Amino acid sequence: MYRHPLLESLHICFTLPIVVLDNDLDMLKAYPFQQVSCLQSDLKPHLDKVWRQKSLFPFTLLRTPKGQMLALYPFQNYLFIFGPFWSASPAQTLRPLADLAYIPQHCLAQEGLCPCQHISDVGHLLHLIHYFFTGHLHLMEQDQESLTQEIFEDIRKELSESLIQQCNLYEDQHFDFEFHLLESVKKGDLKEVRSFLSQSVTPKGVTKDLRSEKNYSILIFEKLSQLAISMGVDPVYAHHTRDYYMSKCEACLNIHDVLALRESAIILFTQKIGRINNHSYTVAKILRYIHQNLSQKLMVEDIAKQFNFSESTIRKLFRKEMNCSLQQYISQKKMEEAKVMLRNQNNVTEVSNSLGYADLAHFSRTFKAHVGLSPKQYQRSPIKDIL
């Protein structure tokens, strides 16, 4: 049997069994080879259900009554099975990453014939597997962002009428507090933010109970992440940081911990924005403009007009701070976005059009010059690297 070194290396590093099934759910490979005997024939209907349903989540986790788990990862025309393994990770922490389902105990061989590794954090394992196959975390961030929006909607729907009325009493105080807070963060001035926080991290007059503080903190985390993105912070970093703080916030057992966590988030985002602001005001605005208009045909001439500079001046200013030309930076950012879209199986023509390229041939030449592969080759490359 052919044994690909990368997939085998993944098995060795994780010390986790891996089974590869084809489109008909017939086994192609197993690491170690005897691992297939651990999966009983009764498991196949459950695998078939996962394969046919096409979950919105990247993974599906199957759990037995005794707590053994299998991580299923459909990728193109293959189904990869990781496990079984044990883990104490709470089910709710896995929801943004995977669909959860339960299977009867007899779907796996007896424990003596089916040894299990202990995984302390399943979330980290899933992120690593996803990165191994695709080279990025973009898809998971999209799933988490979508789920977070659903959570916000649920919170809003579940608010009682009395709580809504109570919030209206302090609407002006909330607005003033948040406005001044976000303006301070926007400047990236840590000294000013610390001074502001020394006064309070909650608007005066608002009733402080644990659930209210958690809900308010979640809203602050969301606003901080959106502000950071608008100021040029990497969206993946901003969303991941937001989700981290939301998760930590839900685990807090008292108001003091919630307030301390909220202050930590405010300071962290301020520091991140402050580093972005180390660029001159003009270059920072140009970077923001580029990030917000990657879907357009970005020409140096048009950018110069946008900021009332001559082309020669804006070229010199940009190169001095960024150590590359303006056009090189634009191409680099467009190619980074193109790689993400191609990994998500977007049509090459659609990717080209969505990034402002009128000529598909020009897009393909530019992509190959940056990546070393044509868009089609890059899109097909993961499965060649794995099997």
- The full length of the chain comes to 387
Distance CA 266, CA 249 (A): 13
Coil, strand or helix at 334: helix
Q: Which two tokens stand for residue 373?
A: 């592969």
Distance CA 248, CA 264 (A): 11
Q: Do residue 200 and residue 85 come from a single domain?
A: no
H or E stretch covering 254: none
Q: Do residue 227 and residue 290 come from a single domain?
A: no
pLDDT of the residue at 9: 78
Q: Do residue 55 and residue 175 come from a single domain?
A: no
Q: Do residue 257 and residue 298 come from a single domain?
A: no
pLDDT of the residue at 222: 86
pLDDT of the residue at 171: 44
Q: Do residue 242 and residue 313 come from a single domain?
A: no
> pTM for this structure?
0.40
Number of neighbouring beta carbons within 10 Å of residue 41: 8
Count structural domains, the chain: 3
Q: Do residue 187 and residue 215 come from a single domain?
A: yes
Q: Which of 276, 311, 346 is the last residue of a domain?
A: 276
CB 126 within 8 A of CB 98: yes
Q: Do residue 349 and residue 368 come from a single domain?
A: yes
Q: Which of 100, 115, 135 is the last residue of a domain?
A: 135
**Residue 123's domain is classified under what CATH number?**
3.30.450
pLDDT of the residue at 90: 62
pLDDT of the residue at 326: 92
* Domain residue limits at 99: 5-135
* Strand intervals (E) in the chain: 18-21, 27-31, 59-63, 69-75, 78-86, 98-102, 117-118
pLDDT of the residue at 197: 66
pLDDT of the residue at 30: 85
- Going by the DSSP 8-state scheme, the letter that residue 41 receives in this structure is G
Q: Which two tokens stand for residue 75?
A: 């990728």
Q: Do residue 189 and residue 126 come from a single domain?
A: no
Q: Which of 74, 104, 135 is the last residue of a domain?
A: 135
**Residue 377's domain is classified under what CATH number?**
1.10.10.60
**What torsion, rounded to 10 degrees, do the Cα atoms 168, 172, 178, 180 define?**
180
Q: Do residue 231 and residue 311 come from a single domain?
A: no
Q: Do residue 261 and residue 323 come from a single domain?
A: no
Q: Do residue 216 and residue 124 come from a single domain?
A: no
Q: Which residues of the chain have pLDDT under 50?
A: 1-3, 138-139, 143, 147-148, 150-173, 201, 204-205, 383-387
pLDDT of the residue at 147: 46
CB 186 within 8 A of CB 273: yes
Q: Do residue 59 and residue 173 come from a single domain?
A: no
First-to-last CA distance in the chain?
Answer: 12
Number of neighbouring beta carbons within 10 Å of residue 131: 12
H or E stretch covering 306: helix 300-306
Distance CA 386, CA 134 (A): 10
Give the helix ranges, DSSP H, for 188-280: 190-199, 210-230, 235-251, 255-276
Q: Can you state the angle between helices 138-158 and 210-230, rounded to 10 degrees? A: 140
pLDDT of the residue at 238: 82
